[in-house]
Amino acid sequence: MEIAIIAHDGKKAEMVQFLNQHSEILHKKGIHLISTGTTGEKVTKAGFSVNALMSGPLGGDAQIAARVAEGKCHMVLFFRDPLDRHPHEPDILMLMRLCDVHNVPLATNPATADLLVKAL
C-alpha cells in the first residue's frame, strides 16, 4: 500500500512526530511512503524510508495527484497549515479534488490521519 505524506513548513515537525507515533503500524503493514521533497527530507532524517518527489511548490503536489489518478497512491496524509498562504494553492486543491474523484482517503490534520492509520 502506498501512502503519500505532505506537510506544509509549519507542520513538518508534526508530521515527523505523527510518523514516529505510528511507526509500528506502518512497518507492520509494509507501507510504502511517498512524499513531496522537503517533507521527505525531514522524514528521512527521522529514520523513515520514503520516496521523495519534487518540492510542493515545484510540482510535488501535482506528482502525487497524478499517482492518485493512476491508482498508485492509496491514501494521502496532508498536514496543511490553514493560517499561511501557499503560492501553489491550485496544485493543493487539485490533489484534494482528485482524492475525492478517485475515492482516496485524505487526512488534512493529525486527528483524521490517526483514524485512517489505525484503520489499517
Instruction: Detail the DSSP E strand segments found in the chain.
Output: 2-7, 32-35, 50-52, 75-79, 106-107
Q: Is 55 annotated as a binding residue?
A: yes
Q: Is 38 annotated as a binding residue?
A: yes
Q: Is 28 annotated as a binding residue?
A: no
Q: What is the CA radius of gyration of the chain?
A: 13
Q: How many other CB atoms are there within 10 angstroms of residue 26's CB atom?
A: 18
Q: Is 36 annotated as a binding residue?
A: yes
Catalytic site positions: 61
Q: Which residues are annotated as a binding site?
A: 8, 12, 36-39, 55-56, 88
Q: Which residues are annotated as a binding site for substrate?
A: 8, 12, 36-39, 55-56, 88
